[in-house]
Amino acid sequence: MRHLLLLLLVFISHSLFSQNDSLVPSKAQDTVKFSAKKNKKDKKKDSLGITIRDYKIVSHSRDTTYLDTTLSIQKEYRYNYLRRDDFELMPFANVGQPYNHLGLILERNTLYPSLGSKARHFNYMEVEDISYYNVATPMTDLFFKTTFEQGQLLDAMLTFNTSRRFNISIAYKGFRSLGKYSWSQVKSGNFRSTVNYVTENGRYRLRAHWTSQEMEAEENGGISKKELQFESNDPDFRDRSRIDVFFTDAQNFLIGKRYFLEHQYRLLKSETDSVRSKSNYLGFGHVFTYETKNYQFQQDTENEYFGDALVSPIDDAASLKTMYNEINAEFSNRTLGVLKASVNLYSYNYFFNSTITTGEGFIPNKLRGEEVALGAKYKKQIGGFMLQGGIAYNISGKLTGNIMDASASFQINEKNKISASIHSSSRLPDFNFLLYQSDYENYNWYNIESFDKERLSSLQFSLESQVWGNISAKYTTTDNYTYFTSLANDEQAGDNLENAFIKPVQEANSINYLKVKYSKEFKFGDWALSNTLMYQNVTQDNEVLNLPAFVTRNTLYFSKDVFKKAMFLQTGITFKYFSSYNMDAYNPLLAEFYTQNREKLGGFPLLDFFINAKVRTARIYLKAEHFNSSFTGNSFYASPNYPYRDFVIRFGLVWNFFS
């Protein structure tokens, strides 16, 4: 709350002292031009020619894009809680609850295990999710959307600069949603602030960010009488709050804070070098990250849903503190390309509050140590070819692992591009697979000595074509795949006691995973049909990696300027479908999904109707979500015992302000 109050104060001050909006739409490219005050250094100029291309967004990997104020079907797909396309995800009934997987990316970009509790991390912003800014004048981005009962979703960001070389941003994403089902309230807050700085001569570069994130969710264990109260379509239970759930006294929390700094000084630099054209230089850099994460599960009284308890009430807490330091050297040459070498020191402390002795033996309360790794990256543009590669190898420590990536792409012409990439990695699974402690007896294990490293290899080809569409094919092989599953027998499962026997397991046999994805849009005047299709095939001796064989999303929509071109209107219907499969079940104590092979779900359509509009720099969204729920039957589940949402109308907007 204190972050939200601070941010509101900043926005109020910004509004009081900012200039009037001077946006003038450019009909050709749907961009904007700005009039500005007279440049004191050049009194002959009455205005500055600032366009939308002067508002740059820089990703963690230093890819630069420009602020996009257009309204497109891709914006419609990204207008959700995560603010990214959720084609391969299946959301639960309430905003902020977990997402089940319809497709997977098995590759990991780090050498080291993470905390775990992945189902609570969908909205957690990692280092790679933070953007930096380089803007001509102060710019504000406001995202608003309604939620489900007693709450709203707001993501507000303000970025400004003291000069062209020093940019600051401050942002807060907060929401609360009571939900339609009993004991399903979710709320969260994501505060982040960034700094982006380059000296006048371009030799010293710095970027940094600070984040403070909190997620809190009530957990009800799912509906307990689904056949009688949900699937029967009994009118007495159309009010979903009347449906019985497994418990109404449990909740989990994820809290994280992070400090990140990356800076570089270039010793040798070509006089003709510029910010946009990296030619010849030698630079030395340093990267520092310090992060704390805490996951907690609380329950007022023990419940047989999770088995026998050692104490009551339940209060489980897992913590992870990490510190990362990297020293690197980067050499760039127009002929040789860009080569970067690095050495890093990684310190970790994953811990619980006490040690435990069970019938299976002694369980320590921490995993702690230091890791040293070497790395190298290479990048070279040769005409239409782009070559990239990277390798990281752990040379010291208990969490030994390695990662190797290589990719090549070729720009055939303006409309066609092909690329290929390979990946190979070896890494221990997340910390909650290796060590876990709980007040519930069956949720205590120590596997650091018995679990092997997960080994993964993948090969991918893709074609990006404005004529033929975009298609990608990836083939992945993984060994020692680690997952959660229930060891309950059929009788125990029939008594809804699957979660009382959850354990981490490693698959001894190899798993082969093929994913083919195709997208193409067809236009007919003011009408368009956007299509995304995905085919998946998993070859395995045991059913441990379960995914739907087919997923499709098709949107038929109409776009046109209206009201003498004062508004751009877009309206249509989106159809989404995925074939039935053994959908992963959700465990609220661990905040993890686990493999189950007793119940097939899916095979139902999802229909959304939307009306979106753009007025100057404001994009307005109105959507009737899952409007077919009342006439296609109550068989729509996001996970066993967790239904997807019913028909609901939601609205909101995205608005950019410029000063």
Mean of pLDDT values over 628-636: 92
> Biggest alpha carbon distance in the chain?
86
| pLDDT of amino acid 240 | 96
| pLDDT of amino acid 472 | 98
CA distance 347 to 325: 9
Record the pTM: 0.90
Task: Give the residue from 26, 182, 58 showing the smallest Cα distance to 128.
Answer: 58
Distance of CA 80 to the CA centre of its chain: 12
Mean of pLDDT values over 177-203: 95
- The burial class, CB within 10 Å (0-12 / 13-18 / 19+), for 333 is middle
Residue 378 clears pLDDT 70, i.e. is over it: yes
Split at pLDDT 50, 70, 90, the class of 354 is: confident
Q: How far is CA 110 from CA 128, 216, 330, 387, in A?
A: 11, 27, 20, 21
106 sits in which H/E element: none
In the three-class reduction of DSSP (H, G, I as helix; E, B as strand; rest coil), residue 504 is classed as strand
In this predicted model, what pLDDT tens digit does every residue of 422-431 receive, in sequence order? 999 999 999 9
Task: Check: CB of residue 308 under 8 Å from CB of residue 297.
Answer: no
Residue 7 clears pLDDT 80, i.e. is over it: no
Pairing of strands 605-615, 618-625: antiparallel
Percent of the chain at pLDDT > 70 equals: 91
Query: Which tokens is 377 given?
Result: 């990256």
Mean of pLDDT values over 579-588: 98
In this predicted model, what pLDDT tens digit does every residue of 325-335 receive, in sequence order? 999 999 999 88
Mean of pLDDT values over 640-650: 97
Split at pLDDT 50, 70, 90, the class of 50 is: confident
Query: Which tokens is 286 given?
Result: 């340093």
Residue 313 clears pLDDT 60, i.e. is over it: yes
CA distance 343 to 197: 24
Contacts of 373 (CB under 8 A, 6+ apart): 111, 343, 344, 346, 392, 393, 394, 395
Mean of pLDDT values over 87-112: 95
In this predicted model, what pLDDT tens digit does every residue of 249-280 receive, in sequence order? 999 999 999 999 999 999 876 544 434 445 68
In the three-class reduction of DSSP (H, G, I as helix; E, B as strand; rest coil), residue 49 is classed as coil
Q: Which of residues 168 and 268 earns the better pLDDT score?
A: 168
| pLDDT of amino acid 21 | 40
In this predicted model, what pLDDT tens digit does every residue of 123-144 receive, in sequence order? 999 999 999 999 999 999 999 9
Split at pLDDT 50, 70, 90, the class of 42 is: very low
**For residue 144, what is the DSSP state?**
E
Q: DSSP for 57-86?
A: EE-TT--EEE------HHHHHH-STTSS--
Residue 29 clears pLDDT 70, i.e. is over it: no
Task: Check: CB of residue 314 under 8 Å from CB of residue 299.
Answer: yes
Contacts of 163 (CB under 8 A, 6+ apart): none
Split at pLDDT 50, 70, 90, the class of 106 is: very high
Task: Check: CB of residue 505 under 8 Å from CB of residue 511.
Answer: no
Helix then strand then coil, in percent of the chain rounded to 5, is: 10, 55, 35
In the three-class reduction of DSSP (H, G, I as helix; E, B as strand; rest coil), residue 325 is classed as strand
Contacts of the segment 10-14: beta carbons below 8 A, 24+ positions apart: 10/158, 10/170, 11/140, 11/156, 11/158, 14/138, 14/140, 14/158, 14/160, 14/659
In the three-class reduction of DSSP (H, G, I as helix; E, B as strand; rest coil), residue 2 is classed as helix
